[in-house]
Chains A and B, each alone.
Chain A
């Protein structure tokens, strides 16, 4: 499980996750995700490199999303692969955090009008 943090454009943070977000994977990223959520208000979580996600991964995403929404920030999920998209949809997380299929759409979604 790997986590990389980038500044997508000024003011917008991007977390690039890759690997498997099972329990162990979720434990590995949870602390960093919490720290990042505390320090930014516009966040793109790039899931394109995540090959598997279970409920503990969803927990990390929701926790992070809540922290950002709590300060009127914006967060989106970017380009999950098919099986991860199915898990996100089955659990209803896509009703809570928007899923974008391109970087341009993600940037637009996290940028205030």
Chain B
């Protein structure tokens, strides 16, 4: 596994705006074009959670995102020093039966789990560490 690119940004809306163009550029060499939009959705949601909820009672800290790759998978590793938040343990919002019962927001975690098959969370040295693993297509192994 090698590091393809690293992005450091403030945990703010301005910082979040840098995420999409960074991944678009950094992933060009190691992610299939049809897989990139799903990765973009997952990364947007994961970083948005940190920006919107990670620093409720103090000035926003920093977020570091690593894009890593090997022959089998592409990884996005997101590290932040915000409050403890484990997106793998948080409950998903139930699907509403109709518009009248639907709550407008709260579908970010659903999108993360739908578009990323492997989400691993750890709290390490006072920091959140979220590892999003996207397996590569290996048609040679499924033949």
Chain A interface residues toward B at CB < 8 A = 20, 22-24, 52, 54-56, 58-60, 62-63, 65-66, 69-70, 82-83, 86-87, 90-93, 95-97
In the complex, whether B95 has a CB less than 8 A from a CB of chain A is yes
Contact B37 A23 (CB under 8 A): no
22 residue pairs A–B, Cβ–Cβ below 8 Å: A22-B20, A23-B13, A23-B16, A23-B52, A54-B41, A54-B44, A55-B45, A55-B105, A55-B107, A55-B110, A56-B105, A59-B104, A60-B104, A62-B99, A65-B99, A66-B99, A66-B102, A91-B110, A92-B95, A92-B110, A96-B98, A96-B99
Complex Cα distance, B52 from A57, in Å, reads: 15
- A86 in contact with B38 given A54-B111, A55-B111 (CB within 8 Å): yes
Contact A96 B115 (CB under 8 A): no
Q: How many B residues have CB within 8 A of the partner chain?
A: 29
Complex Cα distance, B93 from A96, in Å, reads: 15
Contact A91 B104 (CB under 8 A): no
Of residues 93 through 134 on chain B, the ones whose CB sits less than 8 Å from some CB of chain A are 95-96, 98-100, 102-108, 110-111, 114-115
Contact B20 A59 (CB under 8 A): no
Chain B interface residues toward A at CB < 8 A = 13, 16-17, 20, 37-38, 40-41, 44-45, 48, 51-52, 95-96, 98-100, 102-108, 110-111, 114-115
Complex Cα distance, B114 from A58, in Å, reads: 15
Main secondary structure of the interface of B (DSSP, over half): helix
- A59 in contact with B40 given A90-B115, A92-B95, A96-B96 (CB within 8 Å): no
Complex Cα distance, B20 from A54, in Å, reads: 12
Complex Cα distance, B95 from A22, in Å, reads: 21
- Please give the distance in Å from B97's CB to the nearest CB on chain A: 8
- Cross-chain contact of A58 among B20, B37, B107 (Cβ < 8 A): B107
- Please give the distance in Å from A75's CB to the nearest CB on chain B: 8
Complex Cα distance, B140 from A85, in Å, reads: 29
- Cross-chain contact of A23 among B48, B104, B110, B115 (Cβ < 8 A): B48
